[in-house]
Amino acid sequence: MKKKFWRCFVCNDLHYGLKPPEICPTCKVKAAYVEIPEREAKAILTVPAPEPGFSKEEFRAAIEAFAGPNEFMVNPDAERVSLLLEGMDANERNHGLRYCPCRLRSKDFEEDLKIVCPCNFLIHETYKGQEKGECWCGLFIKR
């Protein structure tokens, strides 16, 4: 089965998966998702363009919250993190999504969704099984 894009017709929340959530996690309406084509999802994901200089700080706060009390944390090397966030900020402005700054996009939209940050770094060889594991770029490290 192939994953598809779904859009909540009430609040425009997007879902990418085999089937839509029964209840929209954003507006809590039941049976609100409709299947949409990839080009519609792309348009929703890329418009409006973020304001330069704004998304970097917003994203920093989001990844701190994402790391939360997990087994991983945001790298305490502030300079490295700042460079990575600038790379993602540039990718978002130039290509519409926060693609990983240390990976090359294949230009296949579905394939490239795998490298939108944060990616599934728990399965990276650089992370799993390593005492001092980290994601490919070192944005997230094991505690």
Q: Which of 59, 115, 133, 141 binds ligand SF4 (CB under 6 A)?
A: 115
- Please say whether the beta carbons of 42 and 5 come within 8 A: no
Contact between 81 and ligand SF4 by CB under 6 A: the answer reads no
Site for ligand SF4 in 117-136 (CB under 6 A): 117-119, 121, 135-136
**Hunting for tokens 């909540």 — which residue is that?**
8
Instruction: From 13-21, 47-55, 71-79, 113-121, give the range in contact with ligand SF4 by CB under 6 A.
Output: 113-121
Task: Give the contacts of 86 (CB within 8 A, at least 6 positions apart).
Answer: 56, 101
Copy the structure tokens of residue 68: 């939360």
Binding site for ligand SF4 (CB under 6 A): 84, 100, 102, 115, 117-119, 121, 135-137, 139-140
